[in-house]
Amino acid sequence: GENVEQHPSTLSVQEGDSAVIKCTYSDSASNYFPWYKQELGKRPQLIIDIRSNVGEKKDQRIAVTLNKTAKHFSLHITETQPEDSAVYFCAARETGANNLFFGTGTRLTVIP
Amino acid sequence: KAGVTQTPRYLIKTRGQQVTLSCSPISGHRSVSWYQQTPGQGLQFLFEYFSETQRNKGNFPGRFSGRQFSNSRSEMNVSTLELGDSALYLCASSFKLAGAYNEQFFGPGTRLTVL
């Protein structure tokens, strides 16, 4: 099955700086890569996703890039704000399936 | 449109007991997936139901089972509880079984504590 690795496990940035979280996957059959944000005590919320036919996607301060050849994808958050503080999970999904394989999460702390 | 709901939100059980958790998907969604979230193992896929049939299963023992009803509501059951079953159990719903534009939306989870 798919194996997703995520780095770093913790990340602290000053408010206004950028944050980058990286993930790698093992199964070349994976074609969908969502990112979830989970605040303490709350459900994971889908914040952005990318499909394998696209190299980059942006939504306001959040962007995701995908390198299919290298099997890695990254989340970029610009102009970070304290409310961006949360645990972020990357995930991968194989073609024809619905279940997600998750990375181990990155705890992002934005220091005011 | 109401989101995914799960009941109960918190549960305390003792070893050896069994437990049933419930999940109601977003209206119109027919697929329900279950995940276990623990600090040590992260988010792991348990199983998925679609049209009242289990379609996919993760690597969990047979003590973990589930079902889905005709209204797409799903339940999961854990029998003979072990301390290691303490976790946040999340369900996620999506519109269909698979496909490129088939996002999964999570419920708030049921936090199970096994004493």
Q: Which of B9, B29, B33, B43 to mutate to test the interface with A (most CBs of A within 10 A)?
A: B43
Confidence category of residue B103, pLDDT binned at 50, 70, 90: confident
Phi-psi region of A89 (alpha: psi -120 to 50; beta: other; left: phi over 0): beta
* A62 burial level (CB within 10 Å; 0-12, 13-18, 19+): middle
Token look-up 């980058």 returns: A20
Kindly state whether B66 is in contact with chain A, defined as any CB-CB distance less than 8 angstroms: no
Q: Which residue has the higher pLDDT, B81 or B98?
A: B81
pLDDT at B100: 61
Question: Is the separation of the CB atoms in A20 and A74 below 8 Å?
Answer: yes
CA distance A24 to B105: 23
Buried b (16+ CB within 10 A) or exposed e, A27-54: beebbbbbbbbbeeeebbeebbbbebee
pLDDT in tens, B9-57: 999 999 999 999 999 999 999 999 999 999 888 999 999 999 999 998 9
Examine residue B8 and say whether the peptide bond preceding it is cis (omega within 30 degrees of 0). Answer: yes
pLDDT digits (tens, 9 = 90+) for A74-86: 999 999 999 999 9
**CB within 8 Å: A32 and B31:** no
Which residue, chain included where needed, has tokens 């209204």? B71
According to DSSP, the β-strands at A4-7 and A19-25 are antiparallel
Report the greatest alpha carbon distance in chain A: 43
Note whether A32 contacts B: Cβ–Cβ < 8 A.
yes
The whole-angstrom separation of Cα A52 and Cα B100 is 9
A:B CB pairs within 8 Å: 58
Helix, coil or strand: residue B95: coil
| Interface list for A 37-76 with B (CB within 8 A) | 42-46, 49, 51
Contact A99 B33 (CB under 8 A): yes
Question: Which of A36, A98, A102 to mutate against chain B (most B CBs within 10 Å)?
Answer: A98
Closest CA to A26 of A88, A64, A72: A72
